[in-house]
Structure 1
Amino acid sequence: MLLDDLVATTTAVTATRSRLAKVDALADLLRRLEPDDVAHAVGFLIGRPRQGRVGVGYRSIGAITGDPAAEPTLTVADLDAFLDRLATTTGAGSDAVRSRDLTGLMAQATAGEQDFIARVLLGEVRTGALEGVLTDAIAAASGHPVALVRRAAMLSGDLGGTARLALTADEDALAAVGLVVGRPVLPMLAATAATPTDALSTTGTASVEYKLDGARIQVHRSGDDVRVFTRSLAEVTDRLPDVVAAVRALPVHDVILDGETLALDEAGAPRPFQQTMSRFGTMTDSATARETVLTPWFFDALHVDGRDLLDEPLAVRLAELERIAPALRVPGTVTDDAATAERVSAEALAAGQEGVVVKGIDSLYAAGRRGSSWIKVKPVHTYDLVVLACEWGSGRRQGWLSNLHLGALDPDGEFGEPGGYVMVGKTFKGLTDELLRWQTERFPQIETRRTAHTVYVEPVTVVEIAIDGVQSSTRYPGGVALRFARVKRYREDKRPEDADTIGTLRSLLRA
């Protein structure tokens, strides 16, 4: 299939607010794909190609010059093969080779394809084709029940592979997809609440557990074979030998555990999040990574010695976890008392952790889904940043300026002109309809330039942003990226020179 067909579908999906219309457009695309293209196309649609991130950033994209192709010739397979080449091009001289290959691909792409390829490379595909909508489209295109498709996707952790199976096989093949030790499943997700009391009022009797300031891991063991996966299902076994050793020592033969891992200091408090993440990156041979010891902590057991526990209540799963790994359990307590929940939260924060997760004691493990059974409660940090640009919205936000590009003040000109601004992230979360309308009216009045999807503005608008923290990043020039940023309010009372500095944000890496 031509890549242009995929781009046309994403444009159609973006242009409608109707979920049914999105499903219909995506189902039509899926029916027309060759079987070998299905998984690749799904990965592009949800912004997760099978190769993962391939190390292309804004500077690489911005350095490309030349006119786009007049007619489409690239195929879905061409883009997948190109990502393979980027992912495997390493070593001396690789930057020049990657740049040459990227320029060559873009020269073959139309304007619409260039924009789509750039968003795939930067991890910024937002077509409204979220997993739920695409799962419905897979069911519609294949004629199989949506519940069957959804469960297969959850248990396989692979929406693209599920799509190919659904479109090429019968219902029995989909039904045969089950929990397999060694194959990661999509992790269960948590909703949010302002206080532990609020969370407990939703869940009822719950396990109130520390929300560790670590990295989510899913660990599979069969005999002596242990495999470790991230929350995005990437395998990192070879980078976490201490986690492997800890799980290998448990008194089980087969097990699947859900938890977090983090680096601790001499007093047992968590080290900065980025020290933990240093073990997950490609530079695990660095001095920091070599010296960082990670401790695993688990809060759920999905399988123990031949027994699947996904459909057992949390109370049963916790009992099994306590039996096999009592020393590695995340701290917490089961309660229906709000004062007790608040006390556990205070203890977690005093220990340097992020907060708590309140989990209904009768809840099942809903792989890949976010619901009211698990609710996280964390304190919020707010910072004043400057709007550098704004992207046009999609779906229900079609026609409104939505996704904000956020910059921190660079007073010393470390990354440009003194007193300028350096980009540290994006967000479209927290924007009310009133704020969307205001942005759409205001930002064209201070526009400096625009592309098909983005309006760049004078850096004069201050916005208060809530974040859970920052992390080191090679994507943005300032070296940091915001974690879970959301809009609190615009600060018309503040001047852009009053914004928080890049130094302030970078200091959070050491906090």
Structure 2
Amino acid sequence: MLFADVVTASAAVAATRSRTAKATAIADLLRRADGDEVRAVPAWLAGDPLQGRLGVGWRTLSRLAHDPATSPQLTVPDVDRALTELAGTTGTGSAARREALLGQLFTAATTDEQRFLVRLLTGELRQGALEGVVLDAIAAAADVPTAAVRRAFMLSGSLPDTAATALAGGTDALEAVHLRIGRPVRPMLAGPGASLDAVLADLGDAVAVEHKLDGARIQVHRDGDVVRVWTRTLREVTDGVPELVAQVRSLPCRTAVLDGETLALDDDGRPRAFQDTMSRFGSDEPDPAVVLSPFFFDLLHLDGRDLLDEPLAVRLDALAGLLAGAEHAALRMPGVRRPTPEQAAEVLDAALGAGHEGVVVKALDAPYAAGRRGRAWQKVKPVHTLDLVVLGAEWGYGRRAGRLSNIHLGARDPDGGEPVMVGKTFKGMTDELLDWQTRTFPGLAREQHEWGVLLEPELVVEVALDGAQRSPRYPGGVALRFARVVRYRPDRSPADADPLDAVRALLAGG
């Protein structure tokens, strides 16, 4: 397959907002792929080389001012081999060798292929082929049920592997993919609930109501004495969290996969600032005074038994048994099963009184549906909050003159397109945050204007809001009401942002 075919399909995906049209273009391409092309194509269209981050920046690429090839000649294997060689080039003199490899690749590429490569290598390939669309395309190309593709992806965490499995072995091969200790599972997510009463009315009384902490999501795997820890984005952080490793290693089991949250507590047992918790995941020299405490709320595997497909009630019973000892009771997320409305309100009051965000209400009959926000888990907070993508920023006025202030906010497009703008805000920003935005945003600029900058959709910010209202001003037909910045979320990517449907769910009476 020619590399130009991938570039053409990428352009077709970028040119439409139709999820069906996007999936059809990718499926047509996958049907023509052979061998390892099946792994490379979905990875590239999702914006990720098979080799991971290649450490190639704009400064290097700007020196590759080679005349483009006049006609397509590169194949998909040609490009994949070049990227593999690039990834393996290290040590003394590697910078010059890497630049020479890139020069050879770009010389053989047409103008459109060069543009695609630049965006792929710098992590700025934004054509809207998000994971969900690619999964739909894999199912169509392999003529297999979408549910089987999504489950295999949930358990493998790899789009390329899922595509290769589906196209080579069909449904039987997909169903043979199982949870593997040491390979993280995509986490199940909670959608926003309008209020505690509304969520209870929606889900009924067969629910668990648990504290919603202001911490970091963790998934912990144990295999004998080997314990490994991943974040919400499936980034391994084992070496940086020895206290979590030690606590899981002390549990009375041989193998386990636990899902939960962790956060730093002060001497009074109240949560420390969110940035204190996150500092443990991003610093080479973390503050020894910041000790993380884990709180587990789900159990996906225990001593040879996979629990993913069991109802939550069964998983909670297994978790309660694992953490039954007095020495382990503090590792359990506080909550109540099958509460009355009064008891559920007491759990919410207790969570808020302890300094936490609110509660999560979970249907007891629901299996573990990884990677999805749905009705089965709904979070309830006194103040609505959303994780949105920063799309741009405007120069401030008055005391904010000379600083990038009013930010443009976008919700994730559930159909796989670019984030959909739903509002702006300049509220809630400290001087320190304004200075950080002014330093940081120009380096992420997609376009620069006299009024400000449009950004590549890379940063996620948490905003508090009073609700939403219908509005023709923005493409999604909805706008935020009284939005204010809570904090930026370095632990989340644009794929983790709240979808447009979550904003629409906050419409008064909607």
The normalised TM-score by structure 2 is 0.72
| Matched residue type, 1:133 | V
Partner of 1:178: 178
Are the structure 2 counterparts of residues 411 and 218 from structure 1 closer, same or farther at C-alpha, using a change threshold of 3 Å? closer
Verify the 8 A CA contact 1:56 1:121 in the aligned structure 2: yes
Deviates more, 1:4-13 or 1:40-49: 40-49
Percent identity of the aligned residues? 47
| Matched residue type, 2:297 | F
How far apart, CA to CA, are the structure 2 residues paired with 1:397 and 1:304?
A: 35
Structure 1 residue 301, shift from structure 2 partner:
0.5
Structure 1 residue 389, shift from structure 2 partner:
8.5
How far apart, CA to CA, are the structure 1 residues paired with 2:182 and 2:305?
A: 15
How far apart, CA to CA, are the structure 2 residues paired with 1:146 and 1:401?
A: 25
Partner of 2:344: 341
Verify the 8 A CA contact 1:356 1:376 in the aligned structure 2: yes
Verify the 8 A CA contact 1:405 1:423 in the aligned structure 2: no
How far apart, CA to CA, are the structure 1 residues paired with 2:266 and 2:93?
A: 39
Are the structure 2 counterparts of residues 122 and 362 from structure 1 closer, same or farther at C-alpha, using a change threshold of 3 Å? farther
Verify the 8 A CA contact 1:413 1:420 in the aligned structure 2: no
How far apart, CA to CA, are the structure 2 residues paired with 1:331 and 1:241?
A: 23
Are the structure 2 counterparts of residues 255 and 78 from structure 1 closer, same or farther at C-alpha, using a change threshold of 3 Å? same
Following superposition of structure 1 onto structure 2, how do residues 250-265 of structure 1 map, counting pairs within 5 Å? 250-265=251-266
Secondary structure in 2 matching 1:280 = helix
Partner of 2:165: 165
Secondary structure in 2 matching 1:167 = helix
Partner of 2:488: 470
How far apart, CA to CA, are the structure 1 residues paired with 2:126 and 2:407?
A: 20
How far apart, CA to CA, are the structure 2 residues paired with 1:197 and 1:148?
A: 35
Verify the 8 A CA contact 2:414 2:499 in the aligned structure 1: no
Secondary structure in 2 matching 1:376 = strand
Structure 1 residue 197, shift from structure 2 partner:
2.3
Following superposition of structure 1 onto structure 2, how do residues 60-459 of structure 1 map, counting pairs within 5 Å? 60=59, 66=65, 69-70=68-69, 71-77=71-77, 80=80, 109-121=109-121, 123-205=123-205, 206-281=207-282, 283-284=283-284, 286=285, 288=286, 292-325=290-323, 326-378=329-381, 379-380=383-384, 386=394, 409-410=434-435, 426=457, 434-436=472-474
Secondary structure in 1 matching 2:177 = coil
Verify the 8 A CA contact 1:60 1:99 in the aligned structure 2: no
| Matched residue type, 1:470 | Y
Verify the 8 A CA contact 1:37 1:76 in the aligned structure 2: yes
Partner of 2:12: 12
Secondary structure in 2 matching 1:169 = helix
Secondary structure in 2 matching 1:300 = strand
How far apart, CA to CA, are the structure 1 residues paired with 2:276 and 2:89?
A: 27
Verify the 8 A CA contact 2:259 2:298 in the aligned structure 1: yes
Structure 1 residue 257, shift from structure 2 partner:
0.8
Secondary structure in 1 matching 2:152 = helix
Are the structure 2 counterparts of residues 160 and 414 from structure 1 closer, same or farther at C-alpha, using a change threshold of 3 Å? closer
Are the structure 2 counterparts of residues 420 and 128 from structure 1 closer, same or farther at C-alpha, using a change threshold of 3 Å? closer
Number of aligned residues: 455
Are the structure 2 counterparts of residues 437 and 150 from structure 1 closer, same or farther at C-alpha, using a change threshold of 3 Å? closer
Secondary structure in 2 matching 1:312 = coil
Are the structure 2 counterparts of residues 412 and 130 from structure 1 closer, same or farther at C-alpha, using a change threshold of 3 Å? closer
Cα RMSD, aligned residues only = 4.7
Secondary structure in 1 matching 2:229 = strand
| Matched residue type, 2:350 | E
Are the structure 2 counterparts of residues 433 and 301 from structure 1 closer, same or farther at C-alpha, using a change threshold of 3 Å? same
Structure 1 residue 434, shift from structure 2 partner:
1.7
| Matched residue type, 1:435 | R
Secondary structure in 1 matching 2:474 = helix
Unaligned stretches of 5+ in structure 1?
440-461, 476-480, 490-511
How far apart, CA to CA, are the structure 1 residues paired with 2:377 and 2:273?
A: 25
| Matched residue type, 1:253 | R
Verify the 8 A CA contact 2:298 2:319 in the aligned structure 1: yes
How far apart, CA to CA, are the structure 1 residues paired with 2:415 and 2:227?
A: 44
Deviates more, 1:361-370 or 1:72-81: 72-81
| Matched residue type, 1:154 | M
| Matched residue type, 1:308 | D
Deviates more, 1:306-315 or 1:43-52: 43-52
Unaligned stretches of 5+ in structure 2?
324-328, 395-405, 427-432, 443-449, 462-467, 505-510
Q: Deviations over 1:12-60 (max 9, x none)?
A: 1232344433332211111222321322322222234445455667x65
Verify the 8 A CA contact 2:413 2:499 in the aligned structure 1: no
Secondary structure in 2 matching 1:340 = helix
Structure 1 residue 248, shift from structure 2 partner:
0.8
Structure 1 residue 438, shift from structure 2 partner:
11
The normalised TM-score by structure 1 is 0.72
Are the structure 2 counterparts of residues 381 and 145 from structure 1 closer, same or farther at C-alpha, using a change threshold of 3 Å? closer
Structure 1 residue 253, shift from structure 2 partner:
1.0
Are the structure 2 counterparts of residues 93 and 189 from structure 1 closer, same or farther at C-alpha, using a change threshold of 3 Å? farther
Structure 1 residue 185, shift from structure 2 partner:
1.8
How far apart, CA to CA, are the structure 2 residues paired with 1:42 and 1:313?
A: 33
Structure 1 residue 212, shift from structure 2 partner:
1.8
Partner of 2:47: 47
Are the structure 2 counterparts of residues 73 and 18 from structure 1 closer, same or farther at C-alpha, using a change threshold of 3 Å? same
Are the structure 2 counterparts of residues 470 and 53 from structure 1 closer, same or farther at C-alpha, using a change threshold of 3 Å? farther
Verify the 8 A CA contact 1:42 1:159 in the aligned structure 2: yes
Q: Deviations over 1:403-451 (max 9, x none)?
A: 99999755998679xx996888858998977223599xxxxxxxxxxxx
